[in-house]
């Protein structure tokens, strides 16, 4: 496993800074759940954030700020923390459970091309890109394309291969406009992956450009 | 960044649209010691709040962090009133979550930064911040957890800052845009009129140097 199977440091930093578009951070977090290497780097980047917070020029706070805070604390003492944990869904990272509550076997798919199905997560914004789940039938190839911005791909089931390498469950591909690739599902089961972009993809070649409106990427 | 000497009173309100509220509160400014307490001291306060709801320790944390959290919120797009509100909310969350703070896993400033950042994204950007929850983290890969005692081996905020200041200006600039302005990579590209690859490589280079200085193994 090389660095291409993990998030780029610049992506991890943006996440820690709170500057990663929502869709990319969803896919990254799903990867972080099982990746110690990337989690530690996020913590380092958060330590940088802590240092930068400490370094800020203090603003004035009025004397009654602390009193207001004590009031809020005393009033909320009996309140439970918000966000009750969502139940786990087998085979899915916890952060994805609420988007696919019935698991990967019961996704509402839409066919986009022979061998390729997708399910878009509409609730999550991602600049000019999207977040979607793809299911690629064994042997099927996604036409050759490059990326206008960043594309994060997390394999959830099966695997695929492209010019960069082979990606299996839990692996993350963090690609940008410098990379052009042609992934192919390379086992006997469909490859299911979650893909977030912050820009539209750039398909290369005549067939691929015909493919673009179909996929809507 | 210009910092005032410790103990100096700052009685000038920053140049906000001066509301009546601001005018009235000009004279009621708290005087704080500006010196940054060490990570051990901060950590002790946070643990005291978590273990026995120690109000004195919380007040000390407030004195150091509240004015900085307020600046953070303003730099990231909140007006003065919202920044004050979000600062108070951050402090309330610190109080409530302090019992989950584990000094072996994070330095206090990083732990507090996470809370402020998440609130900022939730309330200013109106987005969800996805993150691996702490309790979830500890349940994953337990055999790998012992390999690197995060926090204990890492340095104080001050030391990280010292190394950060040694970075080349172009690398420092992209870090500032990400952390202090919350700009995404593509927004930084637009702001600095640079290609994506350049922005990413500057961040990567800076992070590599800082992690090395922080004693991380690559």
Query: What residues make up the domain containing B111?
Result: 37-131
Structure tokens that stand for B137 in this block: 């983290």
Nearest to A98 by CA among A108, A110, A80, A85: A85
Residue B152 pLDDT: 42
Per CATH, which fold does A1-53+94-217 belong to? Jelly Rolls (2.60.120)
**Mean pLDDT score, B2-10:** 42
Residues B41 and B108 in one domain: yes
Residues B88 and B169 in one domain: no
Which tens digits make up the pLDDT trace of B152-206? 445 566 678 888 889 999 999 999 999 999 999 999 999 999 999 999 999 999 9
Task: State the burial class of residue A135 (Cβ atoms within 10 Å of its Cβ: 0-12, 13-18, 19+).
Answer: buried
- Inter-chain touch A47–B160, beta carbons under 8 Å: yes
Q: Identify the domain boundary among B131, B166, B188.
A: B131
Residues B118 and B41 in one domain: yes
Residues B49 and B126 in one domain: yes
Q: Give the H/E segment covering residue B185.
A: helix B185-192
Domain ranges of chain A: 1-53+94-217
Closest-CA distance, A50 to chain B, in angstroms, reads: 4
Residues B159 and B217 in one domain: yes
Ramachandran sector of residue B132 (left: φ over 0; alpha: ψ -120 to 50; beta: rest): beta
Round the average pLDDT of chain B to a whole number and report it. 79
* Chain centroid offset of residue A176 CA: 14
Question: Which chain B residues contact residue A73 at CB under 8 A?
Answer: 92, 95-96
Whether the CB of A97 is below 8 Å from some CB of chain B: the reply is no
Structure tokens that stand for B14 in this block: 């920053």
Angstrom distance (rounded) from CA A33 to CA A15: 14
Residues B159 and B109 in one domain: no
pLDDT-derived band of residue A125, with 50, 70 and 90 as boundaries? confident
Phi, psi of B65 (to 5 degrees): -85, -35
Residues B44 and B124 in one domain: yes
**Mean pLDDT score, A66-84:** 77
Could you tell me if residue B170 is inside a domain?
yes
Is the pLDDT at B137 greater than 60, yes or no? no
- Inter-chain touch B72–A57, beta carbons under 8 Å: no
Residues B126 and B41 in one domain: yes
Residues B43 and B115 in one domain: yes
Closest CB from B67, B110, B129 relative to A47 = B110
Higher model confidence: residue B1 or residue A18?
A: A18
Residues B172 and B99 in one domain: no
Query: Domain with B42 in it: what CATH number?
Result: 1.10.1740.10
- Inter-chain touch B204–A8, beta carbons under 8 Å: yes
* Chain centroid offset of residue B198 CA: 26
Whether the CB of B139 is below 8 Å from some CB of chain A: the reply is no
Probe site for chain B from A6, A24, A56 (most B CB atoms < 10 A): A56
Closest-CA distance, A179 to chain B, in angstroms, reads: 11
Whether the CB of A149 is below 8 Å from some CB of chain B: the reply is yes
- Interface ipTM: 0.87
pLDDT-derived band of residue A215, with 50, 70 and 90 as boundaries? low
Whether the CB of A49 is below 8 Å from some CB of chain B: the reply is yes
Residue in A with minimal Cα distance to B9: A60
Residues B127 and B44 in one domain: yes
Could you tell me if residue B48 is inside a domain?
yes
pLDDT-derived band of residue B141, with 50, 70 and 90 as boundaries? very low
- The CA-based angle B52-B153-A36, given to 5 degrees, is 90
Question: Which chain B residues contact residue A67 at CB under 8 A?
Answer: none
Whether the CB of B157 is below 8 Å from some CB of chain A: the reply is yes
Whether the CB of B178 is below 8 Å from some CB of chain A: the reply is yes
How many domains are there within chain B? 2
Residue B26 pLDDT: 41
Residues B41 and B127 in one domain: yes
Residues 150-209 of A with CB under 8 A from B: 150, 176-178, 198-199
Question: B178 with A14: CB under 8 angstroms?
Answer: yes
Closest CB from B87, B112, B196 relative to A61 = B87
Query: Domain with B189 in it: what CATH number?
Result: 1.10.10.10
Question: B106 with A46: CB under 8 angstroms?
Answer: yes
Residue A163 neighbours by CB distance under 10 Å: 10
Nearest to A68 by CA among B171, B88, B12: B88
Residue in A with minimal Cα distance to B164: A48
Closest CB from B14, B88, B216 relative to A44 = B216
Question: B197 with A177: CB under 8 angstroms?
Answer: yes
Ramachandran sector of residue A216 (left: φ over 0; alpha: ψ -120 to 50; beta: rest): left
Instruction: Tell me the whole-structure pTM to 2 decimals.
Output: 0.84
């Amino acid at each position: 496993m090389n660095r291409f199977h993990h998030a780029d440091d610049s992506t991890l930093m943006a996440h820690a800074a709170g500057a990663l578009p929502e869709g990319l951070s969803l896919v990254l977090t799903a990867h972080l759940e099982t990746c110690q290497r990337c989690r530690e780097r996020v913590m380092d980047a958060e330590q940088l954030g802590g240092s930068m917070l400490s370094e800020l020029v203090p603003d004035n706070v009025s004397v009654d700020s602390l009193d207001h805070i004590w009031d809020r604390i005393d009033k909320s003492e009996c309140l439970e923390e918000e966000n009750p944990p969502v139940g786990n869904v087998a085979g899915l990272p916890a952060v994805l459970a609420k988007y696919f509550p019935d698991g990967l076997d019961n996704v509402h798919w839409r066919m986009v091309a022979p061998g390729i199905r997708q399910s878009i997560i509409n609730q999550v914004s991602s600049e000019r890109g999207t977040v979607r789940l793809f299911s690629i039938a064994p042997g099927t190839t996604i036409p050759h394309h490059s990326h206008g911005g960043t594309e994060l791909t997390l394999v959830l089931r099966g695997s695929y291969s492209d010019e960069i390498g082979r990606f299996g469950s839990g692996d993350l591909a963090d690609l940008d406009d410098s990379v052009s690739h042609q992934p192919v599902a390379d086992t006997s089961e469909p490859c299911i992956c979650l893909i977030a972009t912050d820009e539209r993809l750039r398909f290369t070649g005549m067939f691929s450009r015909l493919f673009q409106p179909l996929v809507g990427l | 960044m210009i910092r005032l000497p410790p103990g100096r009173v700052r009685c000038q309100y920053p140049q906000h649209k001066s509301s009546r509220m601001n005018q009235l509160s000009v004279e009621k400014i708290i005087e704080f010691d500006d010196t940054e307490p060490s990570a051990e001291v901060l950590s002790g306060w946070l643990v005291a709040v978590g273990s026995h709801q120690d109000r004195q320790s919380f007040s000390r944390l407030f004195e150091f962090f509240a004015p900085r959290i307020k600046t953070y919120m303003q730099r990231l797009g909140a007006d003065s009133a919202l920044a004050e509100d979000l600062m108070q909310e951050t402090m309330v969350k610190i109080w409530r979550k302090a019992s989950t703070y584990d000094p072996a896993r994070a330095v206090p400033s990083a732990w507090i930064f996470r809370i402020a950042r998440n609130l900022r994204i939730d309330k200013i950007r109106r987005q969800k911040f996805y993150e691996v929850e702490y309790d979830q983290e500890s349940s994953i890969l337990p055999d790998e957890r012992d390999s690197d005692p995060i926090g204990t081996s890492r340095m104080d905020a001050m030391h990280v800052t010292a190394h950060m200041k040694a970075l080349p200006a172009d690398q420092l600039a992209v870090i500032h845009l990400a952390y202090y302005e919350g700009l995404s990579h593509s927004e930084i590209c637009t702001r600095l009129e640079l290609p994506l690859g350049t922005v990413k490589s500057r961040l990567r280079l800076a992070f590599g140097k800082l992690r090395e200085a922080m004693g991380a193994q690559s």
